[in-house]
Structures are given as C-alpha cells and as structure tokens.
Structure 1
C-alpha cells in the first residue's frame, strides 16, 4: 500500500514466453504479498504478440503498443524501414499510458516491448526496476539501466553490463510451482502419463522431452523428423515433443505422409500447457537455452542437452548454456550440428543412469528458488523509497 491506497505497478516486456512468464510470476507474487486490494497492475506489451493473449488469460489487464523489433536477418525489409515510425508512435502512446495510470513504479523484463514504457517512465521521474534474465544482458536493458533504480539479475558477473551498485541477485522468476516436480510422486507421474497418453506399466521405459520454446524451433523439429523411425522402433523410450505454434500445421502435414503417422510412443503438440507434468516424466530434456528454460531446469533438476539458438541478440543463449556446461551440469550441441547429433546423444544419455544422476546433482546446485518474491521486495522498496509520496 502507498499512503492507504493500492500500490500501482506497470509491468512491461514480451514477445516470447521467456519475457512474459517471469513478468506474470512477479505480478502473481505482488498480489500474494499485498492482496487483491493492495496492488493495481497494468501490463504493457507489443500488439500482435503472444502477451496480448497470455496475460489476460493469467488474469491481468494489458495495453498493446505498435512497437516491433529489428529483423536482424533482413535488415532492409519493409518491417525494418517502418521501425522508426513504430518506435515514435510507441513512445507517444507509452507516455499517455504512464500519464493515465500514474504508476508508483515501472518494472521491465527486457525485449523491445519494454523499451518505450521504461523510457517514458524514467523521463517522467517515475522509478524503474529492470529484471535481466540472461547471462549476457540484452541491448534494451543495457541502455535503460543507466536511469533504473534497481537491476535484478540471475547470473554472477553482470557488472560487465550494469552499474555494480544497482545490481541485486534474485534469480529468474518462474511462473508455476516447480518444487513438486523436482521429486514427483508416483501419483503425479501417473497423472502425467495419462495426460500424455503413455503406459507406465513398462518401468524400464525412459522419457525424452524435446521442447523448442513457445513459438517453436525449426532445428529441433528437424531432429525429431530425421530420427522418427529410430525413435518409433525403441520400446524403451517415449517422447514428449513440443513443436511450437509456428510449425504445427507443417509438422502435422509431414507426419500424415509418413507411413504409420505419429508413432505411439511419441506425444506431439504445438504447446505443452502442463509443463509440470512434462518435467515430472522427463529423464532427459532437449531444449533451447533461453533464460527461463535454464532456470526451470536448474530447479526441477533434469539431465539436459542444450541447442542454443543462433538467431538471438549477442548469442546470449550460447552464453547461458556455457554457464552450465562449465559446471558439468549440461551438454551443449551447436545448432548446425544438432540434426545429426542431438537424438543419438539423447538416446545414449537415456541409457546412462550414472551420468544422468551426476548431471542432475550438478544442475540442482545452481538452482535458486523464491526469485519472484525477491524481485517483489525490490519493487516494493523502490516504490517506497523513490515513488511519489
């Protein structure tokens, strides 16, 4: 509460699940700390992006800006040429949103969607907090950090990017309860098997989880299609495969042409809504190395093969993965080698109980729980110290 009125908070960030879910986790933690009547929360995202659907489903109001990111692979595309106009419009609209809502504090979770709002808030004298998920800070957060009051981080050594006196180690906020997934009960595993249509009677069967992010990953989908016959022939392996919404129709059409279609030991979907159940079954995970995926795996403790995306700013996913590889907590395979190497390596790891146990022990040592609560404490302190009285 601020002077017997609700604390008003704008939360901004989006584009991918890696920016959205930490933001929702912090919003939920704010409500848990202050109660429904003790805080008013407004999300601000990018029009047409997944936050405009996901955030309302989580129970929060959201405003959309016409902002867009730079298309690095097509520098002279129509979208990039229109970018200055979109940025100008977004900044104007962001100022209006901030002026109307009158927040006590604005929290940014990175990505181009957060830039106009934090920029506007900082120039209007409203305190801002930044949450950086990656081990290599994104450009937006680096630029905005100079006027931010607090910068919450998940990795050591972030003074390379941010003023040291503003950094607070919190870890990455995660949306959902992963504590029960680290050591799932037999009941939870039965629920998971039923959810994905698997038979738990074969106790020797191991589970491979292939997850390419909320939007999908062409490379990991190509891995699955390349090795589908070999996976179908394995009675000791079952697979949970999230192929992403961008590739869902294409994958479905490809599998229709395959003799036998989708193998019985493979579950496929555009998006895994119950990620807790997927982790409960998984013995080995193949994934991109986005910050939230890394943080989830550190908490749930699973053997993982990372295939960092080559299409991200400053190659930050490779740096995220390398931070775990250095601790013998993960395996990393380059994107251009993945189709030939990933599934064979995953099958070897599924058959090596000792190595899996060692990797699980190492990755759990890196996990940090309670991050959402820690970020909330920084948000509340910032509002009380620097906000309007």
Structure 2
C-alpha cells in the first residue's frame, strides 16, 4: 500500500469505542428506504453515540420517511435514467455533475468514518466520491440480480452485504457477506394475531383473506385484474385487503364501494396488520416485498414487474419458486391467470401449508443487526 493510501486510511480510522460518523446513501422506493432505516437503527443500538446522516434525492420518498424516523437527510439534485422516454434524459448530465459537487461538499462538512449505499441512483455519487477519498464504503444489494451501479462500486467496496447465495457472479467473492435483507422491526417482531388484524380492517375472522400489495405507486396490471374480478371474491367466499398504491386510487376505491368483504386504501400504514390478517398474499416481487413475506411466512403469489432493471423481480420470485416457497404469475397473463391461481390456492389447504413452511424457512429476521455489527467492526 502506498504512503498516500496509508495516510488516507489512518485519517479516516476511528478508535474503538469512539463515535462513528456514518453516511447512508440511497432511496427512491420503500424497498431501499426502510432497510436503510433498519440498518441505522441497528447501528444506534450497538453504538448510541454514532452520528448518522442520510443522503437521498430531492423530491423522493426518502426526504419524508427518513426525518419521520428521526434522522437528518441531505437531498441531491439528481435523477435516474428514464428508460421509457429518451428525450426526458436531456437534462440528466447536468444533474449528475451537480450532484457530485453537492456530495463533495457534504463529505467535506460531515467527515464520515464510513459510507453505506443501499441502492437507488442517489447512492452512486456518494459512494464514488467516498471511494476516491479512501473512506470505507459498504454496499447492501437487496436483489437476486445486482444492479450495474452496485457492480461497478463493488470493486472498491470494503464489504458487500447480499440477500442470497450465488452473488459471486456480480461481486468479488472475498467481499461478500450473506446477510439477508433488513426488515422493519414492526414486521420482524410482530406479535399481532390474525383476529386482531382482521378487526383492525373491519373484516370477519372466519373468512379466508387475500392481501393485495403492489408498492407505494401501485401495480396497474394487478389492480386492474382485481377490479375486473372484484365480484368473484365474494362469490367464492373470500375477503380482500387491497392496497392500490397512489396511481388511480380513487378509481379502485369507487369499485369497492358497498362491498363489505373488501377493505381498500392507497396505502397501509401498519403493514404488520396487513400481513397478520392475510391467508394469501398477491404481490410484486421487489426484494423487500419478498423478504417481508418470508418473515411473515405467508403463502404468496408473485407478479414480477416486467420492466424492472435486468428483470430482477423475476429473478427474485424465481429464487422462491424454485424452492417451492412461492407461486409466479406473469404480468402478461395476470388478468385471467391471477384470479384462477388465487382460487386454486385458497381451495387447497395442503398447498398453502407447503408454501408457508418453505417461505418461512427462508426468513432472516436479524439482517440489520448482522450488517451493523459487520460495519462497526470494520471501521
């Protein structure tokens, strides 16, 4: 190691027991934000005097959720690549350049001991600048198929925390630590009974319940399939907890008016209640949705979003399907195949038991603690 690199390393080292200064970068979706907050909470549990600063993208979900969790956050003027409309990317280069200047100012002022990237386009400039300054960097890759930015950053990362085995094709094997994905404490340690949860939603305790979730913005294909077959649920003796997401929420709520067997809202604030109430779950296959369903131990039908980068949602779902821990319906087949799959599963208790046992066996409830311990022991 060169003298320069040795001096940089020493300048960023912290005596054992002294407070660490840690930046957590990334966001964009709940699948990045909630694990990031879980990691921050675990670090504070182990090292109460640790100083934690979040860095995210202005106008994104993290700018609201992180302060609600009690942490400060700095916003970058940055945007992601728009795959659906190339013309919308004209203003992207100036934003990226500006974000690097913003990151340099943040790092100069905060003087972090370490930087953690949790995914989302705001994590790239933060980790890139930190690595250029010799600051230890850590990556959490939540998906079964790594993103290109994380693969690039992984070459100089101190450690890379991954959700599943087999990630050596994306990252240097010696840096990989299989930890699983951090889950919100309210879900990981939930003691809510199904009867309590059904009462929370105003539903009956003696009727099989299907939970539908498609993310904070909603999943149009799933929502439309549910809307097109809304009468079938009552006809087949099923009740429904339907999180529509924000997009077209009013339309879907109108469809459910007057249906006593349907609870509908654009967002479920207490997701532990949603999981506890459900007998069967219909979900996209984002990394955190998959992880939470493993922890909740629910028979699940996954409808992967087909336009996710590198089709990682299909990879996430297939990791469970191959272990008989979940079912998969293609997005292109969802209108007819989804309701048929739900009805077949709801009428087959043995299939429900097998799926529940197998998905529960994949649960890791203390990933946040493992990651926090690994980071603090490395800086």
TM class by smaller structure:
over 0.9
1:90 aligns with 2:99: yes
User: 1:262, CA displacement in angstroms?
Assistant: 4.8
Query: Could you say which residue in structure 2 is the equivalent of 1:247?
Result: 248
Query: Could you say which residue in structure 1 is the equivalent of 2:53?
Result: 42
For the residue of structure 2 that corresponds to 1:76, the secondary structure is helix
Aligned residues: CA RMSD: 1.6
Q: Structure 1: how far apart are the matches of 2:327 and 2:319?
A: 11
Equivalent residue for 2:221, pick from 219, 222, 225? 219
Equivalent residue for 1:210, pick from 209, 212, 230? 212
Q: Structure 1: how far apart are the matches of 2:337 and 2:173?
A: 40
Query: Could you say which residue in structure 2 is the equivalent of 1:338?
Result: 334
Q: Is the 8 A contact 1:6 1:40 kept in 2?
A: yes
Q: Structure 2: how far apart are the matches of 1:280 and 1:229?
A: 24
Relative to structure 1, the CA distance from residue 294 to residue 102 in structure 2 (aligned partners, 3 Å threshold; closer, same or farther) is same
Query: Could you say which residue in structure 2 is the equivalent of 1:197?
Result: 202
Q: Which moved more, 1:260-269 or 1:221-230?
A: 260-269
For the residue of structure 1 that corresponds to 2:87, the secondary structure is coil
User: 1:120, CA displacement in angstroms?
Assistant: 1.0
Q: Structure 2: how far apart are the matches of 1:194 and 1:362?
A: 28
1:43-100 alpha-carbon deviations (Å, 9 max, x no partner): 00011111111111111111110111111111222xx111101100011101111111
Equivalent residue for 2:142, pick from 133, 153, 174? 133
Q: Structure 1: how far apart are the matches of 2:47 and 2:110?
A: 19
User: 1:20, CA displacement in angstroms?
Assistant: 0.5
Once superposed, which parts of structure 1, at least 4 consecutive aligned residues long, lie more than 6 Å away?
none
User: 1:245, CA displacement in angstroms?
Assistant: 1.7
For the residue of structure 2 that corresponds to 1:112, the secondary structure is coil
Q: Structure 2: how far apart are the matches of 1:355 and 1:211?
A: 21
Q: Is the 8 A contact 2:194 2:278 kept in 1?
A: no
Equivalent residue for 2:41, pick from 28, 31, 37? 28
Q: Which moved more, 1:106-115 or 1:362-371?
A: 362-371
Query: Could you say which residue in structure 1 is the equivalent of 2:300?
Result: 304
User: 1:180, CA displacement in angstroms?
Assistant: 4.8
1:341-389 alpha-carbon deviations (Å, 9 max, x no partner): 1122112211211110011111112222210011101211222xxxxxx
Q: Structure 2: how far apart are the matches of 1:41 and 1:246?
A: 33
Relative to structure 1, the CA distance from residue 354 to residue 66 in structure 2 (aligned partners, 3 Å threshold; closer, same or farther) is same
For the residue of structure 2 that corresponds to 1:59, the secondary structure is coil
Q: Structure 2: how far apart are the matches of 1:195 and 1:265?
A: 14
Q: Is the 8 A contact 1:16 1:215 kept in 2?
A: no
Equivalent residue for 2:160, pick from 151, 165, 171? 151
Equivalent residue for 2:346, pick from 346, 350, 365? 350
Query: Could you say which residue in structure 1 is the equivalent of 2:376?
Result: 380
User: 1:223, CA displacement in angstroms?
Assistant: 1.3
Question: Could you tell me the TM-score, scaled by structure 2's length?
Answer: 0.93
Equivalent residue for 1:63, pick from 68, 74, 83? 74
Q: Is the 8 A contact 2:187 2:271 kept in 1?
A: no
Q: Is the 8 A contact 1:215 1:245 kept in 2?
A: yes
**Structure 1 unaligned residues grouped into runs of 5+:** 384-389
Following superposition of structure 1 onto structure 2, how do residues 178-327 of structure 1 map, counting pairs within 5 Å? 178-181=187-190, 188-200=193-205, 203=206, 205-234=207-236, 236-252=237-253, 255=254, 258=255, 261-327=257-323
Q: Is the 8 A contact 2:57 2:122 kept in 1?
A: yes
1:179-205 alpha-carbon deviations (Å, 9 max, x no partner): 555xx66xx3333122211132xx2x1
Q: Is the 8 A contact 2:195 2:277 kept in 1?
A: no
**Structure 2 unaligned residues grouped into runs of 5+:** 1-12
